[in-house]
Structure 1
Amino acid sequence: MHVVIMGCGRVGASLATALDRMGHTVAVIDQDGRAFRRLGSGFGGSRVVGVGFDRSVLSEAGVEHAAAFAAVSSGDNSNIISARVAKETFGVEHVVARVYDAKRAAVFERMGVPTVAVVPWTIDRFLRMLLPDGIATAWRDPSGTVAVVALPVHEGWIGTPIAVLERAVGARVAFVMRFGTGVLPDSQTVVQADDQVYVAALSGTVTEVAQAAAAPPEEND
């Protein structure tokens, strides 16, 4: 398939090179022609100098027949504008924009443009490396407000209704992995041995939620 990439920084160049090696046709757009040096001599795609949201530039990059478009420049505004032009004007099916501002990412998601919120994602990766025994985030919304995390549930919760666990930890159970299968809990679901419980919680409350789940239930629960 044909892919257009706006931005030839380290991420854009690496993405373009990887796609080229996989046999896809790739066009890379950047305002600075010197940025294309990152692609290396073995890159078989095209290089287009210009602004990524300029329609003539996009046309030169072959956006009309592109199956995917990635906006990965260093500017949030440029990324979202070019992504919207690719999606709304040229009808590119798969469009994604890199965004540093998590609040903007949430707005862009509501506009129908998928985003990669770099800061929340990077923080999660650092936490996984720095705290290997800590709480790993399985998913986070683009604004960074809500996180889905796997809870370390104390064995004392086995046999307890999910609803009781939710009230005790102050978070909603999103799903349970049971014997390798995802289970959506209902009013009849109870915690079983070896369950992996995933909850949706506000990002700032994850530590408290995890501590409550790791402790045995109180008698009045």
Structure 2
Amino acid sequence: MHVVIMGCGRVGSTLAHILEDNGHSVAIIDRDPQAFRRLRPGFQGRRVTGIGFDRDVLIEAGIQSAAAFVAVSSGDNSNIISARVAREMFGVDNVVARIYDPRRAEVYQRLGIPTVATVRWTADQILRRLMPDGAEPLWRDPTGTVVLAEVSFHPGWVGVRVKDVEAATGARVAFLNRIGEAIVPKPGTLLQDGDVLHVVAAEREMEHISKVLSGPPSEEE
């Protein structure tokens, strides 16, 4: 497929190389021609100098035949404007915009533009490494309502069925990592020693879930 990328910074250039290595055609847009120096010498894609929400610039980049558009410049406003132009003017369905301000990310998500709120995502990743035994999210929806989190559990939960874990915590067990392999458990799957538990739940419930799993199951469970 053909992908148009706006922004030839570290993220844009890295993404361009990965896409090209996977057999896709790529055009990358940046207002600063010096930015294209980040591309490797053998890069075969188009380099287009200009503003990413300019109609003629997008056409030069091949937006009319693009299957996807990615906006990863350093400016939130430029990213969201170009993403909306790609979707609304040129009918590109697969559009993603990087947004630094998580409050804006929520608004744009409601407008139907998938966003990556990099500040919040980076903070979550750092917290997971600082506090590996906690329940910091691996993923959070743009509204902050639902999270996917890795949660530690007390050894007393070993041998307990997944459906009983869900009943006790109110969370949905998304998957287990068992001996380095991710598995989607069935309701009757038993937790084993060494399993890494990943759950999906409302963020407001994560403290309760962590508390329940930090101790052995109660007699009711």
**Structure 1-normalised TM-score?**
0.79
> Aligned partners of 1:191 and 1:155: how far apart in 2?
16
Q: RMSD of the TM alignment (CA)? A: 2.9
TM-superposed deviation, 1:177:
4.1
64-73 vs 149-158, which moves further: 149-158
Residue aligning to 1:16: 16
Aligned counterparts, 1:21-170, within 5 A: 21-135=21-135, 137-156=137-156, 158=160, 161-162=164-165, 165-166=168-169
1:138 and 1:147 in contact (8 A); partners too: yes
- Percentage of identical aligned residues: 51
Report the CA distance shift for 1:62/1:153 in structure 2 as closer, same or farther (over 3 A): same
**Structure 2-normalised TM-score?**
0.79
Residue aligning to 1:169: none
Residue aligning to 2:202: 201
Residues 82-121 of structure 1, C-alpha deviations (whole Å, 9 max, x = no match): 1111112111132111111112212222222111121222
TM-superposed deviation, 1:19:
2.2
> Aligned partners of 1:164 and 1:2: how far apart in 2?
46
Residues 170-200 of structure 1, C-alpha deviations (whole Å, 9 max, x = no match): xx312354793344xxxxx689443846241
TM-superposed deviation, 1:12:
0.8
Instruction: Count residues with an aligned counterpart.
Output: 210
2:146 and 2:200 in contact (8 A); partners too: no
TM-superposed deviation, 1:24:
2.2
Q: Which amino acid aligns with 2:105?
A: A
Report the CA distance shift for 1:84/1:153 in structure 2 as closer, same or farther (over 3 A): same
Gaps of 5+ in 2: none
Gaps of 5+ in 1: 167-171, 184-188
Q: Which amino acid aligns with 2:51?
A: V
1:124 and 1:137 in contact (8 A); partners too: yes
Residues 129-163 of structure 1, C-alpha deviations (whole Å, 9 max, x = no match): 33344435342112344322233233545479457
> Aligned partners of 1:80 and 1:5: how far apart in 2?
13
Residue aligning to 1:186: none
